[in-house]
Structure 1
Amino acid sequence: MKKVIAVLMLLLPLMAQAQERSYEPGNFWQISGVKTMPAKFDAYIDDISGLWRSQMEKMKDDGKIVSYHIMVNVHPRDNEPDLWLMVQWTSAADMLDTPWDYWDELTDDIVGSVEKSRELAIDRGELRTIMGDTLAREITFK
């Protein structure tokens, strides 16, 4: 009996490997939950339609991201975001391993300087609160 159990224990990983999955791994998504301050929703949307949108378009042109989306929470409950900012990355490496120089150049091109970007980030803090960021990986059925 012990030999049978030992053989089964050795075969289980092989059996698991042989099973075909019904899905394929896809792109990585960075999802940020945003809660706008009272009466600041339109002001925040106006703000990100400039800077954030410009950054996303440049990163699309550079092949870093596939797409970006904004989802509005139609009926937010207490402590839920009003918006989700979603960025579909071409790869985890593009998201995690892009050199700092790239980000500095992107900031300089769009905003003018890293210092100006910091000032804008402080101002943006009056419009919204980031409730959290999530990294997810898309899967698609075969």
Structure 2
Amino acid sequence: MKPTRLWCAALCCAFLLFATGAGAQERPYKDGPVTIVTSIKVVDGQFENYMDFLNTSWRRIQEEAKAAGMVLDYHVMGAQPHDPDEADLYLVVTYPNMATFDDMDKKMDPIAAKVTKMSIKQQDEASGKRTAMRTILGQQLLREIVFK
């Protein structure tokens, strides 16, 4: 082999090694906890009734899920809506990761049944009755980006 070809081959190998090493670098962050934010519009005159529900059944369910490691934290946040169609309350629940959502119903149903002492059907009916107190406007899934 001629020296020029030998240098070219060595240079190509060096570039390949450099490109492979550069592509394998770790990102400076990792996926963190997942937060679900539920936007709620409370019906006029029903704020205290809905807060009573949140402070009893909903809160106890969150505490049980937290003790089981399925929930990291939860909050109820009041808001000042700018127009009548905006949320005035947000339910914020943080979960350890996306894997927590696998078979979530199977994990949460026993907790809810234990806390409320109601069957799944009764819980569903109770949820339907809460539409007199609030309207769920939507949910947002957020994932924290944790820098290393």
- Residue 52 of structure 1 pairs with residue 58 of structure 2: yes
* TM score, norm. by length of structure 1: 0.78
Residue in 2 that maps onto 1:109:
114
Residue in 2 that maps onto 1:39:
45
Gaps of at least 5 residues in structure 1 are: 1-6
Gaps of at least 5 residues in structure 2 are: 1-14
**Counterpart of 1:89 in structure 2: which amino acid?**
Y
How many angstroms apart in 2 are the aligned matches of 1:24 and 1:60? 23
**Counterpart of 1:76 in structure 2: which amino acid?**
P
- Contact 2:35–2:141 (8 Å) recurs in 1: yes
Residue in 2 that maps onto 1:4:
none
Residue in 1 that maps onto 2:31:
25
Instruction: Return closer, same or farther for 1:138/1:39 CA change in 2, 3 Å cut-off.
Output: same
Instruction: Return closer, same or farther for 1:122/1:19 CA change in 2, 3 Å cut-off.
Output: closer
**Counterpart of 1:114 in structure 2: which amino acid?**
I
Displaced runs of 4 or more, over 6 A: none
Q: Which has the larger radius of gyration?
A: 2
- Residue 82 of structure 1 pairs with residue 88 of structure 2: yes
CA drift at 1:63: 0.6
Three-state SS of the structure 1 residue aligned to 2:66 is helix
Total equivalences in the alignment: 132
Calculate percent identity across the aligned residue pairs.
Answer: 29
Three-state SS of the structure 2 residue aligned to 1:57 is helix
Instruction: Return closer, same or farther for 1:17/1:129 CA change in 2, 3 Å cut-off.
Output: farther
- Residue 129 of structure 1 pairs with residue 129 of structure 2: no
